[in-house]
Structures are given as structure tokens and as C-alpha cells.
Structure 1
Amino acid sequence: MKLHKGHIYLMLAFSLAGTSVVTGRSLTGALDSFAITITGLGLMLLCLFPFFAAKTLHTIRRLQKPDWAALFCQALFGIFLFRILLLTGLPLTSTAEAGILTGAAPAITALLAWFFLREPLSAKTALGILCTVTGIILLQNNHLTNAALVWQHTTGNLFVLGAAACESVFNVISRKQRRKDESAKLPIQPLIQTMLVAVAAGMLCLIPALWEKSLEALWSIGWQEWGALLWYGLVITALSFVCFYEGVKYCDAYTTAALSGLLPLTALLLAVLFWGEAMTYQQWLGGLLIVCSILLLADQKKSSTTADDFT
């Protein structure tokens, strides 16, 4: 039951995270990357901190140096580098292609989990990840064969791939921290952890945002841009991170890697709906494989080393 709960939380987390591609595309024309990130984080903290100030301060007082180091790394890779690389790459490539390229995260996460966490890889989990990776290849292949591979376009794709790698590092760091929290008497609550990570990421973004000198542009943007910034802060950051932190309590890193395939699938579907970008039968087949990988994991029991485990 807890594993199904973890699946639901992770599916929701990655689906919401997938909206960052379309949301970012709608903001990049009006604001620079650091301004978008720090404003979204600021709106989130402004809305949530007054209600959770006491719990947050209580948590801060009992955190130790390793906890702060883990939170800083999550802020660095999960918010700061991920969003900066994604928002930098978006203007240089298509929305759909950027969403698809974030699908490199499952394979990267699985590799990092095996190498650093030494988590056993079951046959069913491996098949789920294989379906995800195959789906990503099918989704991407149409663009690789038809897009004009100019330098600017390739550079944009590399930025997005870098964002996917940062997402993978964030997944593994979060899973490793959850291992420690499972034995802790007072583990950090997901919402409090999200707020602390957001504060750290905001501090990383502050100086670059001031250097960009684009914060003054906030006064000239319209209600649609402000709505997108609120979505960025409250949904893409707060809600998706809370769901993610709650989900990784019950799922291993390989399951997390496979379910992260929902991020590029969501991004692609939203690009079709809101930006009118076409999908081919090959891309639909790739999306179906990603869904199949989720179904393969739906009835999987909590991982333990069994006869079909291999490393």
C-alpha cells in the first residue's frame, strides 16, 4: 500500500514538473533566467512561510552540518542549475524537443543509483526503465532526423540535457538523504524541506539576478506572466517538490528513475496543446512505452534482494 502511495506521489511530482517547460517558454521572452527563478521562489515563500514559520524555525535549530550540505546540494542541482540550464536552452530549441530531452533523466538517475547508492536492480524495474529509455528515443528520433542541426539548436539541446543531468543528481541526493531520515527520530517534513531548499536556491540566484538587471522588468509584465510565475513557485516548486520528497520515502531510486519519464511526456503533450507543435505516430508510440513502464512498476513490491536481482 505504501509503495502504491509512493508511485502516486512521484507520478504527480513529475507530471507537475513537466509543466516547467511550457511555463518557462512563456516567461523567457519577458524575463531573464535568474529573475524568473528568484521571483518564483520568492512568491512561494511569501505565500507559505507565514503559515509554517514556527515549524520551519524549529527544524532549522536541530539541523546539523550534513543536513545543511544535503539541502544546499539539492538547491544547487534541483533548482538553481536545473532551471538556469533549462531556461537558457529553451529559447534555442523547440518546446517539444526540450521536453523530450529532459527524458534523459531516467537513464542517468538509474546509472547514478547503481554506482553511488548500490541499490539492487530487479528484472521488472530494469524492464520498466528500458521501456522509458526506448520511449524517449522514439520521441526524440523524429526531431533528430528532421530538425536542422545548426549550432544554436545543438547548443540549446546541450543546455537542456545538462538540466536533465542535474535533475538526476537531485533525485539521487534526495534518495540518499531519505535513507538517513528513515532512521532519524525527527525527519524533515517534505514541505519544510522544500522551503529550506527554496531559500538556499534563492540565495544562489540573488547576485546573478541583480547582475542581469532584469528584475525591474517585473513592473512591466502582464497578468499572464504573473500567473505563470505563481505557477512556477507554488506548483512547480512547492507542490511538486513536496510530492517528490514524500514519494521517495517509499520508492527506490530505480522506480524514481522510471517514473521520471512522466516529465518529458507531460512536457510534450502540453507543447502540443498550448504551442500547437505536431506529434507523429512514432512519438505517440514513445509516449505509450513510457506509460507501459509505469504500469510495470505499479504492482511491484518493495524492493529487496531476490533471486532475480542483479547488479
Structure 2
Amino acid sequence: MDRLNGKLYLICAFSLAGTSVISARFVTGKLGTFTITAVSLFFALVFLVPLCGKQLVQYIRLMSFRNFLFLSLQALCGIFLFRMFLLSGLYYTSAGEAGILTGATPAITALLAMIVLREPVSGRKLAGILCTVGGILIIQGVLTPGNGLSLEHIGGNMLVLCAAACESAFNTLSRISAVKAAADLKGLSNPIAQTAIVSAIALILCLIPAPFEHPLKELSGIGLTEWTALLWYGVFVTALAFICWYSGIKRCGAFTAAAFSGMMPFTSMLLSTVVLGESADYQQWLGGFLVIVGMILIGTEVLMPRLRYLRIQKTKERNR
């Protein structure tokens, strides 16, 4: 039951995270990258701090330097670098295409687990990685002679892929941190406090380059739609999504989280069509299909051991 709850939390987390591409589209080009991130993080903290209260103080007191280091790395990869690459990439590519490209996260996470954690790779997992890579190449137009994609468009897609890589690094770091924190924090686990700390660290990082974007002048020129997008980015994409994420990752492994991270491209593709009215050509749909197939292959690889375990248990019960 606890694992099922963890999976539900992960579905909610990545579904909310998938709306980041859409909400960012409303402010990209009107505000600087770090201004967008800083303002959204401010809204997130305004929402989070009253919810934490004394629990946040207690969590900070029990937190070791190692816990703080892991949370700082998560803030760097999962918020600062992820949004820097994603928002920069949206200058040159469509929201729908960016959403599809975030589907590379499961494959990149699998590669990190294989290279960094030295986990074994099965044929199904390898096929999933290859499908994802092939899908990305098709979306990029590399396999189509005479394609009309400009270098700027390809560069934008590469920036989105860098964002996906940062998300994968964040996934891996969060799982390692969840295991370490169980011992260091004497069993205390508070997803809201974790989210508040990570958001505060990321906000501090953003405040360093943000002044160079003339934020006060730019913020004074935006309207209600842009402010609503920033509020959504802060409360839903950051606060609620990260609360669900930390609630889920302590119950599930990194590969399970990687499988459910495919909810990001699903949500982005759907909303880019419905909300932004964007359309994709056959090449993008084919590439997106391969990315989704890769996600499914990696995801089913995660579920296979559990299915085998259930079959063994049923067989034992019948033999009794």
C-alpha cells in the first residue's frame, strides 16, 4: 500500500511538473530566465513557509552537513539548472516539442544508474534507451535529409535535453538523499520542509544573476496573464509538485521514479495542443512515439520484478 501511495504521489508530481513548459511559455521572452525562476520561487516560499512552521525549524536543527549538501545539489540540478536550460530552450523551440524532449528523462536516469550506480542493464532497458535516443534524433531532424530545422531550433532542443539531464540527476540525488536522511534525521521525514529548503537555496542561487536582467523594469511591464503564470509556476510546479515528489521518492526507487517521469511529456504535449494551440508534424509525432515507447519499456522493466514476485506468491498459495 505504501508503494502504491508512492506511485500516486509520483504521478501527481510529474503531471504538475509537465505544466512547467506551458506556464513558462507565457513569460518567456518577456522576463529574464533567472527573474522568472526567482519570482516563482518567492511565491513557492510564501505558500510553503506557513505550512511548515515549527517543523521547518526542527528539520533544520536535525539536518547534518551531508543532508544540506544533498539538498543544495538538488536545488542546483532540479530547479536552478533545469529551469535555466528549459527557459533558454523555449526561446528557440516550441512548447510541444520541448515537452516531448523531456521524455528523455527516463532513459538518461537509466544511463546514470548504469554508469554512476553500476546497476545491471537488461535487454528491455537497453531497448528503451535506444528508442528514446532514436526518437530524439528524429525530432531533431538528424535522420531526415533536407530538413528545415535551423541551427537555433536544434540548439533550443539541445538545451531542453540538458534540462532533462538535470532532472535525471535530481531524481538520482533525491533517492540517495532519501536513503541517507532516514538514518541522519532519526526517521523524521517532512516533504514540505524539504521543498521549502530546496526552494530557498535555489532562490539564493537565482538572486545572483537575476539583477543583470533588470527585473524591476521587466516585472512592471507584464500583465495579469504573466503574473498568473508566475504564481502557477511557484505554487503548483514548484511547491506542490516537489511535495508530491519527496513524498513519492522515499517510497519508491529511482527507476520507478524514472518510469513515471514520462508523465511530464504527456502533460506537456496535451496542454501545448489544448492551451497553446500548437501542432506537430509527422516527424515530431514519430519521434514522440519512440520516446514514449522507450519510456514504457523502461517502466515495464521496473514493474517486471514485482509481477514475478506476485506470480510466485500466488503459486505458493495454490500449492498449500
Q: Conserved in 1, the CA contact under 8 Å of 2:85 and 2:160? A: yes
How many residues in Structure 1 have an aligned counterpart in Structure 2?
302
Q: 1:262 to 1:28 in 2, by over 3 A?
A: same
Q: Conserved in 2, the CA contact under 8 Å of 1:41 and 1:198? A: yes
Q: Conserved in 2, the CA contact under 8 Å of 1:81 and 1:166? A: yes
**Quick one: percent identity of the two aligned structures?**
42
Structure 2: distance between partners of 1:132 and 1:273: 29
Q: Runs of 5+ in structure 2 lacking a partner? A: 310-320
1:47-126 to 2 correspondences below 5 Å:
47-119=47-119
Q: Conserved in 2, the CA contact under 8 Å of 1:265 and 1:287? A: no
Q: Does 1:134 align with 2:131?
A: yes
Q: Does 1:264 align with 2:265?
A: yes
TM-score by length of 1: 0.86
Q: Does 1:172 align with 2:172?
A: yes
TM-score by length of 2: 0.84
Deviation at 1:216, TM superposition (A): 3.0
Q: Conserved in 2, the CA contact under 8 Å of 1:259 and 1:294? A: no
Which 4+ residue blocks in structure 1 deviate beyond 6 angstroms?
none
Structure 1: distance between partners of 2:19 and 2:126: 22
Q: 1:154 to 1:287 in 2, by over 3 A?
A: closer
Q: Conserved in 2, the CA contact under 8 Å of 1:209 and 1:215? A: no
Q: Conserved in 2, the CA contact under 8 Å of 1:129 and 1:257? A: no
Deviation at 1:192, TM superposition (A): 0.5
Q: Which residue of 283, 286, 300 maps to 1:282?
A: 286
* CA displacement, residues 202-260 of structure 1 (integer Å, 9 cap, x when unaligned): 00000211121123322221111111111100110011111111111122111111211
Aligned residue in 1 for 2:27: 27
Q: Conserved in 1, the CA contact under 8 Å of 2:81 and 2:166? A: yes
Aligned-residue CA RMSD (Å): 2.8
Q: Conserved in 2, the CA contact under 8 Å of 1:138 and 1:282? A: yes
Aligned residue in 2 for 1:233: 234
- SS of equivalent to 2:81: helix
Aligned residue in 2 for 1:309: none
Structure 2: distance between partners of 1:182 and 1:143: 42
- SS of equivalent to 1:245: helix
Rg larger for: 2
